[in-house]
Structure 1
């Protein structure tokens, strides 16, 4: 998991936005539209990053397609310290 986190947040383009998404989801689950508005990013950009985060088991969707909420996974939350370490380098 740590290698995936380094790749997602520090080793690829878009890491800064993925950090912002994760920090926002840490406050409470949100849907893609809410994230786009709150982070002032295009909806398609948000969905791309959510797909990447989901692929690497950082977030998981819940609910139906329309207004689907995204949550941080339990597996990711067990690696929160690593995320904090990485995000300090990205911010």
Structure 2
């Protein structure tokens, strides 16, 4: 999981937005619309990043349809220290 997190958050253009999404979800579960509003991002941008995070098993969804809520997977929660190290590395750059 550590390698996947480094790739998703630093090896791709969308890394900074994915970090913002993960930080928001660690606070509380949210749906795509809430994330778009809270992070001041376009809804389609948020949906794209949610799809990438879900594909790499960083998040999962609960519910269905428009109100689908996203949460961190247990694996990401166990590796949250890695996410914090990635954030520190990116802030130093």
Q: TM-score scaled to structure 1, two decimals? A: 0.96
Partners of 1:9 and 1:90 within 8 A in 2: no
Unaligned 5+ runs, structure 2: none
Tell me the number of residue pairs that the alignment of Structure 1 and Structure 2 aligns: 91
Q: Which runs of 4+ in 1 moved over 4 A?
A: none
| 3-state SS of paired residue (1:61) | strand
Unaligned 5+ runs, structure 1: none
Q: Which has the higher contact order (CA 8 A, sep 6+)?
A: 1
TM-align CA RMSD = 0.7
What's 1:15 paired with? 15
What are the Cα deviations for residues 15-50 of structure 1, in whole angstroms up to 9, with x where unaligned?
Answer: 001000000001100000000000000000000000
